[in-house]
């Protein structure tokens, strides 16, 4: 029996003992086919899923290699049935292929006509197939390429897409590496994406996803459509692209509520893409406005459902998804995989932190106690009001103030969910507020002053959750969260993870009302970060007032 670092469980999870001498080697060996589920401090959990194994097949790994790796690193002997299962699952990939045929156009081809017959009989698939050309081939209308892939995946017979991509209209884009250079993992991410064709790159907040996007554009050298969450993010993308690439201001267009520019590189917001006029999506034409060679989806975990539907129709264009987490609160991970593409690159947060690319963070949960009066009103509140009652307790305001005073020399973000609450706190602290109705110009001014250090304390609502680059923020105080949203907690922590010029660590305070719904939701939110290795420490509100932080 070997004394390897890996424990293969019968439920297809892999436990990697990271304190083991060969854990690093093992992690690299299993990464191509196992999905990292969580990476807390001692044992990382990976999972063997059908999707993961198919991804590995797509990347050229075969079942034998996978099995050998498991046997090599496994601490205990591996059940035979599990190995057979792996071989069978992997054998399913590639039996069906989407190809482009010089005569018939897009076709679905198989090496196993029984499989083709089986899927052709399925109710969901049958209407998407055209004429049966021969025993092994079906014609497919190009418009069905995405939908067919989705349906086949659900049947458990994923089709390998060899139909290729249109090159798009070529446009010269180069990275301008002056005074900076692409980090290793950024280069690997961009290359991983480019060789895979389409897919998703998963990197922590602050790890430079925009630069991975720019590097991908430099690979494609074609007109590019970038979809981002909001206008501020769009402008940050534009600034970053101008700074890092050979693109000039004239080549980049913004397509948002405010401006409707279509240029060789166009940055559009999700909101404008999903705006409807008289029941019709008014701006869909944008997808056809240019012969795009690359489409980039920023924050893919937030991609709204209609965008998925449009994406199904543009399967012949290269697609790059960028995100900090594939966790979707709506459970649509499968759609991301089949329509944008498989995960092409992934690296644990802690690893990037240990390389010094993101600031180390100290997560603190501050427990506050409701006053007796508040307890009573919490107990008698209606179900849908209870969370609001407990998460906006007065005590939190006092704690937030105390923390702001304690960190008066740092740049502090106070983040909240409820507008009334953040307005009150801002008034108390005498700090400016950014929220949904703050004009874009005003927002940019405030962010600018915060970056320059003219203001040190900023109170923000959830509009600041995503893609706002505030590198010098080192303290975040979350006074209320969006129920149990795990990805939001990760995003908020991400605000303070950008490396600081003086190498300081970041601190993330989460204020939680004891013995209430707030505490339950907080625990759910923290789960993702805890699984990424960010352990929370818990202190009492009294410790804050007495300065024991």
Partner 1 sequence: MPTKRATKKLTEGTPRVPASAASLADELRSRSDQQIADLFALRPDLTSPVPNDFSSLSARASSTPSLIRALDSLNLFQLQIAEAISALDESLTRERLVTATDPLALEALEKLWARALVYFDREVIRMPRALRELIGAKPAGLGPVSLVPIDTKRIDSLLKSAPKMSAEFMKRMTWGPAKGAIGDRRKTGGAIDWLLENELMVKIDNEHVAIPREIGIHLRGGKIHRELAVNPPQITGDLVKFEENNQAAIASVSNLLRWVSELMDFWSEETPTLLRTGGLGLRDLRKAAEHLGVDENCAAFIAELCYLQGLLAIEGDGRVLPATGFDLFQSATSEQQWRDLVSIWLESTRVIGLIRIEESKGIAPLGNELDRVWAPRVRRTILELIKGQADIAPSLESLQQRLDWTLPSRKDAPLAKEFPRWVMAEAQWLGIIGRGAISSFGHAFLHAERDLGINAALPPAVDHILIQGDNTAIAPGPLTIELARKLSTFADIESRGNATVYRFTEGSIRRGLDHGHTGDEIKNFLKSTSKTPVPQPLEYLISDVARRHGQLRVGYANTYIRCEDEATITSILKDRRLENLRLRQIAPTVLISESESGDSLETIRNSGYLPSMESQSGDVISLPKQLRAQSKARLPRAISETSEPTLAVIQAAVKVLRTGDRAHSFTASRAEIPRTTANETLAILRKSIESESTITIGYADTNGGVTQRIVDPVSIAMGNVIARDHGNDEVISFKIARITGVAFIDE
How many angstroms separate the CA atoms of 3 and 22, rounded?
10
Cα–Cα distance list, 348 to 8, 209, 466 (Å): 20, 14, 20
Minimum distance, C-beta of residue 75 to partner 1, in the bound complex (Å): 7
Asked if 166 and 316 count as a contact pair (C-beta separation under 8 A), the reply is yes
Task: Give Cβ neighbours of residue 245 (< 8 Å, ≥ 6 apart).
Answer: 173, 174, 175, 176, 214, 217, 218
Rank residues 482 and 524 by Cβ distance to partner 1 and give the closer one.
Answer: 524
Residues numbered 489-548 forming contacts with partner 1, rule: CB under 8 A: 514-515, 519-520, 526-527, 530-531, 533-538
Interface residue with partner 1, options 24, 25, 62, 79 (CB under 8 A): 79
Name the helix (H) or strand (E) containing 229.
none
Binding mask 20-39 vs partner 1 (x if CB under 8 A, - otherwise)?
------------------x-
Of 9-17, 234-242, 275-283, 494-502, the window that binds partner 1 (rule: CB under 8 A) is 9-17
Interface residue with partner 1, options 62, 64, 76, 156 (CB under 8 A): 76
Minimum distance, C-beta of residue 476 to partner 1, in the bound complex (Å): 19
Asked if 52 and 93 count as a contact pair (C-beta separation under 8 A), the reply is no
Strands lying side by side in the sheet with 224-228 = 252-255, 265-269, 224-228, 294-297, 318-323, 199-202, 343-346
- CA dihedral (485, 488, 493, 494) in degrees, to 10, reads 150
Cα–Cα distance list, 475 to 19, 246, 360, 468, 499 (Å): 31, 35, 12, 15, 13
Interface residue with partner 1, options 83, 284, 327, 381 (CB under 8 A): 83
Binding mask 389-428 vs partner 1 (x if CB under 8 A, - otherwise)?
----------------------------------------
How many angstroms separate the CA atoms of 114 and 47, rounded?
30
Asked if 130 and 139 count as a contact pair (C-beta separation under 8 A), the reply is yes
Of 72-80, 130-138, 275-283, 468-476, the window that binds partner 1 (rule: CB under 8 A) is 72-80
Binding of residue 332 to partner 1 (CB under 8 A): no
Task: Give Cβ neighbours of residue 82 (< 8 Å, ≥ 6 apart).
Answer: 8, 10, 12
Binding of residue 1 to partner 1 (CB under 8 A): yes
Interface residue with partner 1, options 50, 71, 122, 155 (CB under 8 A): 71
Rank residues 6 and 128 by Cβ distance to partner 1 and give the closer one.
Answer: 6
Minimum distance, C-beta of residue 45 to partner 1, in the bound complex (Å): 7
Of 6-14, 110-118, 291-299, 341-349, the window that binds partner 1 (rule: CB under 8 A) is 6-14
Asked if 115 and 179 count as a contact pair (C-beta separation under 8 A), the reply is no
Of 7-15, 290-298, 322-330, 432-440, the window that binds partner 1 (rule: CB under 8 A) is 7-15
Rank residues 449 and 543 by Cβ distance to partner 1 and give the closer one.
Answer: 543
Binding mask 335-374 vs partner 1 (x if CB under 8 A, - otherwise)?
------------------------------x-x-------
Binding of residue 41 to partner 1 (CB under 8 A): yes
Minimum distance, C-beta of residue 545 to partner 1, in the bound complex (Å): 19
Least Cα distance to 236 among 475, 444, 432 occurs for 444
Least Cα distance to 87 among 119, 117, 114, 61 occurs for 61
DSSP bridge partners of 458? 413
Task: Give Cβ neighbours of residue 243 (< 8 Å, ≥ 6 apart).
Answer: 176
Residues numbered 282-311 forming contacts with partner 1, rule: CB under 8 A: none
Minimum distance, C-beta of residue 530 to partner 1, in the bound complex (Å): 4
Rank residues 124 and 527 by Cβ distance to partner 1 and give the closer one.
Answer: 527
Rank residues 110 and 526 by Cβ distance to partner 1 and give the closer one.
Answer: 526
Of 41-49, 115-123, 433-441, 503-511, the window that binds partner 1 (rule: CB under 8 A) is 41-49
How many angstroms separate the CA atoms of 357 and 345, rounded?
17
Residue positions counted in the chain: 549
How many angstroms separate the CA atoms of 287 and 261, rounded?
13
Interface residue with partner 1, options 78, 159, 347, 458 (CB under 8 A): 78
Least Cα distance to 309 among 349, 338, 289 occurs for 338
Binding of residue 188 to partner 1 (CB under 8 A): no
Least Cα distance to 220 among 152, 182, 174 occurs for 174
Rank residues 45 and 271 by Cβ distance to partner 1 and give the closer one.
Answer: 45
Rg (CA), the chain: 25
Rank residues 332 and 530 by Cβ distance to partner 1 and give the closer one.
Answer: 530
408 exposure class (CB count in 10 Å sphere: 0-12, 13-18, 19+): exposed
Rank residues 321 and 533 by Cβ distance to partner 1 and give the closer one.
Answer: 533
Task: Give Cβ neighbours of residue 485 (< 8 Å, ≥ 6 apart).
Answer: 329, 525
Minimum distance, C-beta of residue 13 to partner 1, in the bound complex (Å): 5
Minimum distance, C-beta of residue 250 to partner 1, in the bound complex (Å): 49
Minimum distance, C-beta of residue 516 to partner 1, in the bound complex (Å): 11
Of 10-18, 182-190, 210-218, 465-473, the window that binds partner 1 (rule: CB under 8 A) is 10-18
Cα 406 vs. chain centroid, distance in angstroms? 33
Asked if 110 and 136 count as a contact pair (C-beta separation under 8 A), the reply is yes
Rank residues 20 and 309 by Cβ distance to partner 1 and give the closer one.
Answer: 20
Least Cα distance to 9 among 37, 32, 28 occurs for 37
Minimum distance, C-beta of residue 512 to partner 1, in the bound complex (Å): 11
Rank residues 219 and 514 by Cβ distance to partner 1 and give the closer one.
Answer: 514
Q: By rule CB under 8 A, what count of residues binds partner 1?
A: 40
Binding region for partner 1 (CB under 8 A) = 1, 7-11, 13, 15, 17, 38, 40-43, 45, 71, 75-81, 83, 365, 367, 514-515, 519-520, 526-527, 530-531, 533-538
């Amino acid at each position: 029996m070997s004394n390897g670092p890996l424990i293969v469980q019968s439920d297809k999870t892999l436990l990697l003992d990271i304190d083991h001498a060969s854990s690093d080697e093992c992690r690299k060996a299993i990464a191509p086919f196992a999905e990292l589920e969580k990476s807390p401090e001692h044992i990382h959990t990976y999972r063997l899923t059908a999707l993961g194994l198919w991804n590995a097949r797509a990347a050229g790994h075969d079942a034998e290699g996978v099995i050998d790796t498991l046997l090599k690193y496994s601490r205990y002997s591996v059940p035979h049935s599990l190995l057979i299962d792996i071989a069978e699952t992997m054998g399913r990939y590639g039996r069906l292929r989407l190809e482009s045929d010089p005569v018939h156009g897009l076709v679905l081809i198989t090496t196993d006509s029984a499989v083709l017959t089986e899927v052709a009989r399925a109710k969901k698939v049958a209407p998407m197939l055209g004429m049966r050309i021969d025993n092994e081939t079906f014609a497919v209308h190009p418009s069905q390429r995405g939908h067919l892939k989705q349906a086949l995946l659900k049947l458990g017979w994923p089709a390998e897409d060899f139909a290729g991509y249109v090159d798009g209209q070529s446009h010269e884009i180069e990275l301008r590496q002056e005074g900076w250079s692409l980090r290793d993992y950024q280069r690997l991410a961009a290359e991983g994406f480019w060789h895979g064709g389409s897919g998703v790159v998963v990197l922590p907040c602050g790890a430079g996803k925009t630069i991975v996007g720019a590097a991908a554009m430099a690979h494609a050298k074609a007109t590019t459509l970038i979809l981002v969450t909001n206008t501020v993010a769009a402008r940050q993308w534009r600034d970053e692209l101008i700074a890092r690439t050979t693109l000039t201001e004239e080549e980049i267009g913004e397509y948002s509520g405010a401006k409707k520019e279509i240029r060789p590189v166009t940055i559009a917001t999700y909101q404008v893409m999903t705006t409807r006029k008289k029941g019709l999506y008014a701006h869909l034409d944008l997808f056809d406005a240019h012969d795009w060679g690359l489409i980039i989806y920023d924050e893919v975990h937030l991609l709204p459902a209609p965008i998925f539907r449009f994406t199904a129709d543009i399967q012949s264009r290269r697609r790059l998804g960028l995100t900090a987490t594939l966790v979707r609160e709506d459970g649509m991970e499968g759609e991301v995989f089949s329509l944008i593409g498989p995960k092409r690159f992934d690296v644990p947060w802690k690893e990037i932190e240990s390389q010094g690319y993101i600031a180390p963070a100290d997560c603190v949960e501050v427990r506050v106690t409701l006053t007796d009066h508040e307890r009573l009103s919490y107990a008698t509140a209606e179900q849908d009001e209870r969370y609001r009652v407990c998460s906006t307790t007065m005590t939190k305001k006092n704690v937030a103030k105390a923390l702001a005073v304690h960190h008066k020399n740092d740049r502090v973000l106070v983040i909240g969910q409820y507008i009334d609450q953040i307005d009150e706190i801002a008034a108390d602290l005498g700090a400016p507020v950014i929220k949904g109705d703050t004009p874009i110009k005003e927002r940019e001014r405030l962010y600018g002053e915060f970056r320059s250090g003219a203001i040190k304390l900023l109170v923000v609502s959830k509009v600041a959750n995503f893609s706002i680059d505030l590198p010098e923020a080192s303290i975040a105080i979350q006074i209320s969260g969006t129920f149990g949203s795990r990805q939001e907690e990760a995003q908020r922590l991400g605000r303070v993870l950008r490396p600081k010029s003086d190498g300081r660590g970041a601190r993330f305070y989460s204020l939680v009302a004891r013995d209430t719904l707030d505490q339950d939701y907080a625990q759910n939110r923290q789960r993702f970060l805890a699984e990424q290795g960010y352990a929370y420490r818990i202190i009492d509100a009294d410790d804050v007032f007495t300065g024991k932080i």
